[in-house]
């Protein structure tokens, strides 16, 4: 009861009784007339299956399959998992569960994924900034100074849009420093491209650590909207109060469960290996161009490129029909463009377009 999570959670959430959906209440019987569903499915077309009943209020089989995938190499992973509608929902849930609008603060380390700040500001929670250093590592003194006043510190590793992995020693030092005051969320959306850098195994030792994952990146399932939040049971107790009833649609759970079978995981790993070799080839070729200042080292499925030309290369590539992500709005990322790694032929076309400009 005296966990950090219970001390951080606002009174309003502490008092909440989770919505009692029909599936959560459960029961046993042979006629199910408790959820205002149809008893029979309407067949609207091929493949729409038996979708007339609400899904599980929380799909435990999916959460367990994800934990099994995390254990993978035999590590004894002691934490809980919950499936959510993409990593974005996990970010939003963390902020809504632990931050009091108008009173609490989160901390972010820009340039980083924009949703942490957006979700916080959308409910009047201040996002304090401790910008990354020039090498895109954490500014430890700046973070440590403000840590005790921060409900949640969001770290992203590997980081979007810079592509680098955050030093694990720094994460551990912050988990120690924030043990009594701060939840530290590590967003590992891109972890499959650098699996050895995951901190998920530290949750057992540090109940103030929360890890966010997704099937949108290496698993290639962005359209199904499925992510996971991994945390100690003391944190999960409060997350499960605010989570939407029935967050995961049945077709989503079916596809996600298939992806998390050993065949699916193997496919994902083979694809990731191919992507990484395309990324390394593309980065090496692009770095040779005179218009390129730096291709930053990446542990993700994208590369961040700093051009040395004033002309916006994002617009130039757009004029060639190649849509990338302009990063010039970030103070630290002048002349930078983020390019996702596609097939070898897509990257060859992009490289040729850059050579043409060159």
Ligand X SMILES: Cc1ncc(COP(=O)(O)O)c(C=O)c1O
Residues contributing to the site for ligand X (CB under 6 A): 86-88, 113, 156, 160, 187, 189, 214, 216, 222, 227
Transcribe 264-284 into DSSP letters: HHHHHHHHHHHHHHHHHHHHH
Question: Which CB sits closer to ligand X, 156 or 305?
Answer: 156
Q: Which residues of 119-135 are buried (b: 16+ CB within 10 A; e: fewer)?
A: bbeeeebbbbebbbeee
Question: Which CB sits closer to ligand X, 89 or 104?
Answer: 89
Helix extents (H) in the chain: 4-8, 11-14, 22-25, 60-71, 86-98, 115-122, 140-147, 168-177, 233-242, 250-259, 262-287, 313-319, 344-357
CB of 89 to ligand X, least distance (A): 7
Question: Which CB sits closer to ligand X, 246 or 357?
Answer: 246
CB of 45 to ligand X, least distance (A): 27
Longest dimension (CA), the chain: 72
Question: Which CB sits closer to ligand X, 8 or 229?
Answer: 229
Question: Which CB sits closer to ligand X, 8 or 185?
Answer: 185
CB of 224 to ligand X, least distance (A): 10
CA 179 to chain centre: 22
Degrees (nearest 5) of the Cα angle 107, 110, 116? Answer: 50
Q: In the chain, at which residue ranges do the beta strands (DSSP E only) sit?
A: 80-84, 105-108, 126-129, 152-156, 183-187, 209-214, 227-231, 292-295, 302-307, 325-326, 336-340
CB of 54 to ligand X, least distance (A): 23
CB of 113 to ligand X, least distance (A): 4
Is residue 230 within 8 A of residue 80, CB to CB? The reply is yes
Transcribe 147-170 into DSSP letters: HTT-SEEEEESS-TTT-PPPPHHH
Question: Which CB sits closer to ligand X, 4 or 229?
Answer: 229
Residue 339's SS3 state is strand
CB of 87 to ligand X, least distance (A): 4
Question: Which CB sits closer to ligand X, 257 or 351?
Answer: 257
CB of 108 to ligand X, least distance (A): 12
Using CB positions, name the residue nearest to ligand X. Answer: 86
- Both tokens of 128, joined, read 């304090």
């Amino acid at each position: 009861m005296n966990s950090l999570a219970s001390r951080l959670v606002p009174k309003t959430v502490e008092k909440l009784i989770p919505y009692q959906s029909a599936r959560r209440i459960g029961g046993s019987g042979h006629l199910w007339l408790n959820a205002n569903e149809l008893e029979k499915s309407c067949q609207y077309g091929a493949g729409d299956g038996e979708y007339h009943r609400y899904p599980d209020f929380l799909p435990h089989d999916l959460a367990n399959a994800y934990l099994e995938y995390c254990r993978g190499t035999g590590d004894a992973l002691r934490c809980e998992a919950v499936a959510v509608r993409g990593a974005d929902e996990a970010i939003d849930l963390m902020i809504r569960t632990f931050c009091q609008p108008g009173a609490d603060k989160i901390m972010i380390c820009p340039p980083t994924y924009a949703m942490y700040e957006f979700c916080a500001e959308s409910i009047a929670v201040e996002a304090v900034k401790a910008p990354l250093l020039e090498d895109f590592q954490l500014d430890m003194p700046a973070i440590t100074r403000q840590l005790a006043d921060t409900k949640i510190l969001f770290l992203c590793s590997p980081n979007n849009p810079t592509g680098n992995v955050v030093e694990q020693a720094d994460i551990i030092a912050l988990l120690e420093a924030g043990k009594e005051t701060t939840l530290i969320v590590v967003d590992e959306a891109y972890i499959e491209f650098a699996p050895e850098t995951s901190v998920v195994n530290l949750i057992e030792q540090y109940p103030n650590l929360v890890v966010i994952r997704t099937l949108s990146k290496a698993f290639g399932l962005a359209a199904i909207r499925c992510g996971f939040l991994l945390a100690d049971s003391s944190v999960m107790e409060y997350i499960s109060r605010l989570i939407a009833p029935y967050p995961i649609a049945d077709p989503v759970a079916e596809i996600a469960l298939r992806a998390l079978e050993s065949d699916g995981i193997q496919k994902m790993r083979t694809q990731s290996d191919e992507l990484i070799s395309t990324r390394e080839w593309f980065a090496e070729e692009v770095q040779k161009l005179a218009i390129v200042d730096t291709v930053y080292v990446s542990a993700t499925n994208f590369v961040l490129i700093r051009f040395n030309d004033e002309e916006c290369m994002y617009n130039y590539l757009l004029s060639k029909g190649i849509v990338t992500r302009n990063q010039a709005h970030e103070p630290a990322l002048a002349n930078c463009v983020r390019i996702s790694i596609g097939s070898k032929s897509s990257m060859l076309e992009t490289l040729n377009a850059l050579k043409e400009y060159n």
